[in-house]
Structure formats: structure tokens, C-alpha cells
């Protein structure tokens, strides 16, 4: 009897586990279907848009490109430009690339640049986007700052070199004046030296006993002088 009850409980437990597993599987499949539906909805192509972006500009040129969403195709494009204060419009030829450089512009001037894209048979055929761009100055402010910085550095180097030279020259002159002063003191102590170029005294004088009478007279006269 006890064994029968145990088998019955085991059977009921197995049935409950099967029902629970089946319900969990159904819930998982339902969640997967909902997620798939959500993903399918999120993969719809975005609305068409045309974005202009400046690449670089100089004193006489403006280079730009334009992009559209990847799901859209462009057969060709056309670029038109005009100065803000002028009605004259310059137009480019048909462009198969999405990059163009507008040339022969006036420096430090704003321009209105429009890009029109074409693809016959589509709803975005002839879509146009305009934006304002500007050429740069002949010398930019940051370039002037760098130039003045370099000039100032060079002037400081020149001034520093001049001051060092002036100091060394003054020091050398003081040393020369000091040596001349020492020589003058020595001359005052020992008396004025006799020049070896004096015509009355030979450069090398032999002993008095070796002189001739005439040379001895000249020697004594020079000594008395």
C-alpha cells in the first residue's frame, strides 16, 4: 500500500514537471517572437537626409563633402555657390563624387553653398541642402601670435648676447686698467727704467776695466746724466 502511494506521488510529480517545462517553453517562444518583431520594426530605413560638411578652407577655396544614408543612392550631384552680399551664382558640372572644391573665391568672405542630389524616379530626386561657409584671412590671428612670439624670442636672444658681450668687454677693460695701475706702482718704486734703445748706453756694456778711454768717458758721462 505504501509502495502504491509512492508511485502515485512520483507520477504526479512527473506530470507537474512536464506541464511546467511546457509552459516555460511557450513563454520563451512568445518572448522570442516579440523580440523578432521589435527587431524587424527597428530595421526600417531612416528618412532621407543630406548633410554638408566642410573639409578645409583657404583664402580662395572651400572644400566640402556631403553624405546621405547608406540605403539611398545618388546618381549625380550639383554644387552652387554665391557670395552672401551678391546674387551671382556659380554652378558646378554634374558630379558623380560626393566631394567638391569651390575655387576663385574672395578671402575672408562668407559664401552660401548649396548641394543638390539627383536620382530619377525617387522621391528624393532634386533634394537640396544649403549652408554658409567662409574663406580665411590672409594671415590668421594664431599665425600672427606665433610670428610675434618668434620675433620676440629672437630679440631676447640678441639682447642677451649684447649684454654678455658688454659685460665681458667691461670686465676686460677693468683688468687692463688694474694691470696698468700695478705697473705704474712698480715703476714709481723702482724708478723709471732706462730704455735699452738709448744711443748713449750700449745694449750690452762690458766691464769698466775693458773699456777704452773714450768708451769709459762716455760711460761716466751717461752715468752722471
Q: Is 52 exposed, middle or buried (0-12, 13-18, 19+ CB in 10 A)?
A: middle
For residue 38, pLDDT over 60 is answered with no
Tens-place pLDDT, residues 91-111: 999 999 999 999 999 999 999
Tens-place pLDDT, residues 171-207: 888 777 777 666 666 555 555 554 444 555 445 566 6
Phi-psi region of 104 (alpha: psi -120 to 50; beta: other; left: phi over 0): left
Whole-prediction pTM value?
A: 0.48
Tell me what pLDDT residue 146 has.
Answer: 79
Q: Write down all domains in the chain, each with its CATH number in brackets.
A: 51-134 (2.60.40.10)
The helix/strand/coil state of 22 is: helix
Tens-place pLDDT, residues 69-94: 989 999 999 999 999 999 999 999 99
Query: CA-to-CA distance for 99 and 54, rounded, in angstroms?
Result: 10
Amino acid at each position: 500500500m505504501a509502495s502504491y502511494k509512492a508511485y502515485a506521488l512520483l507520477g504526479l510529480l512527473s506530470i507537474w514537471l512536464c506541464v511546467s517545462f511546457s509552459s516555460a517553453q511557450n513563454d520563451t517562444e512568445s518572448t522570442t517572437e516579440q523580440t523578432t518583431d521589435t527587431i524587424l520594426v527597428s530595421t526600417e530605413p531612416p528618412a532621407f537626409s543630406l548633410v554638408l560638411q566642410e573639409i578645409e578652407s583657404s583664402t580662395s577655396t572651400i572644400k566640402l563633402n556631403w553624405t546621405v544614408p547608406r540605403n539611398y543612392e545618388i546618381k549625380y550631384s550639383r554644387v552652387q555657390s554665391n557670395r552672401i552680399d551678391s546674387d551671382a551664382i556659380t554652378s558646378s558640372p554634374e558630379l558623380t563624387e560626393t566631394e567638391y572644391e569651390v575655387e576663385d573665391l574672395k578671402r575672408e568672405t562668407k559664401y552660401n553653398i548649396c548641394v543638390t542630389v539627383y536620382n530619377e524616379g525617387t522621391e528624393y530626386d532634386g533634394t537640396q541642402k544649403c549652408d554658409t561657409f567662409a574663406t580665411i584671412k590672409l594671415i590668421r590671428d594664431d599665425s600672427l601670435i606665433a610670428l610675434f612670439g618668434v620675433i620676440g624670442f629672437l630679440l631676447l636672444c640678441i639682447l642677451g648676447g649684447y649684454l654678455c658681450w658688454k659685460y665681458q668687454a667691461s670686465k676686460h677693460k677693468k683688468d687692463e686698467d688694474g694691470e696698468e695701475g700695478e705697473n705704474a706702482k712698480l715703476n714709481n718704486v723702482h724708478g723709471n727704467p732706462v730704455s735699452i734703445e738709448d744711443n748713449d748706453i750700449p745694449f750690452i756694456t762690458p766691464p769698466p776695466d775693458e773699456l777704452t778711454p773714450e768708451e769709459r768717458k762716455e760711460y761716466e758721462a751717461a752715468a752722471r746724466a
